[in-house]
Amino acid sequence: MKIHPIDDSRVSNPHILEFLENFRQFKIKGIQHSVKVTKHNVIADRIIVGINKGNIYANDIFKIVKKYNFPEHLLKRLGEEWAQAYMVGLSLEVDGDKLRYKVYVDKGSKNASKSTYKSDAIFAVKWNPKSPSEYVIAKYSLIKKVTEESIKSEVKKSGFDLYPDFIPKSIERKKLTFIYTAEDEKSKRRSFDIRFNDIYLDDLTKDVLNLTNVNLYDTLSHLRLFPIRNFSGGVSDSGEKFFNLYFMVYENNELQTYRM
> 221-251: per-residue pLDDT in tens?
999 999 999 999 999 988 999 999 999 999 9
Given a cut of 60, whether residue 208 has pLDDT beyond it is yes
Find the DSSP H helices in 96-215. Answer: 148-157, 166-172, 206-209
Mean confidence (pLDDT) of the chain: 91
Calculate mean pLDDT across residues 82-106.
96
| pLDDT computed for residue 136 by the predictor | 97
78 φψ region: left (φ > 0), alpha (ψ -120 to 50), beta (else): alpha
Report the alpha-carbon angle 15-222-257, nearest 5.
75
| pLDDT computed for residue 116 by the predictor | 55
Given a cut of 60, whether residue 74 has pLDDT beyond it is yes
- CA–CA gap between residue 260 and residue 62 (Å, rounded): 20
The DSSP 8-state label assigned to residue 8 in this structure reads G
pTM score, whole prediction: 0.92
120 or 70: which leads in pLDDT: 70
Residues in Cβ contact with 108 at an 8 Å cutoff, skipping those fewer than 6 apart:
86, 117, 118, 119, 120, 121, 258
| pLDDT computed for residue 111 by the predictor | 57
List, for residues 114-123, the tens digit of each pLDDT value: 555 567 899 9
Given a cut of 60, whether residue 143 has pLDDT beyond it is yes
Lowest mean pLDDT among 111-115, 128-132, 203-207: 111-115
The neighbour count for residue 27, using CB atoms within 10 Å, is 14
Given a cut of 60, whether residue 31 has pLDDT beyond it is yes
Of the candidates 186, 189, 170, the one whose C-alpha atom is nearest the C-alpha of residue 231 is: 170
Given a cut of 60, whether residue 257 has pLDDT beyond it is no
| pLDDT computed for residue 237 by the predictor | 84
The DSSP 8-state label assigned to residue 39 in this structure reads S
- CA–CA gap between residue 194 and residue 132 (Å, rounded): 29
Burial level of 225, CB count in 10 A (0-12/13-18/19+)? exposed
- CA–CA gap between residue 249 and residue 32 (Å, rounded): 6
Calculate mean pLDDT across residues 44-65.
96
Given a cut of 80, whether residue 168 has pLDDT beyond it is yes
Calculate mean pLDDT across residues 45-74.
96
Lowest mean pLDDT among 11-15, 78-82, 146-150, 251-255: 251-255
83 or 2: which leads in pLDDT: 83
Percentage above 70 pLDDT, the chain:
92
Percentage above 90 pLDDT, the chain:
81
Calculate mean pLDDT across residues 164-188.
94
Given a cut of 60, whether residue 258 has pLDDT beyond it is no
177 φψ region: left (φ > 0), alpha (ψ -120 to 50), beta (else): alpha
Of the candidates 176, 125, 123, the one whose C-alpha atom is nearest the C-alpha of residue 154 is: 176
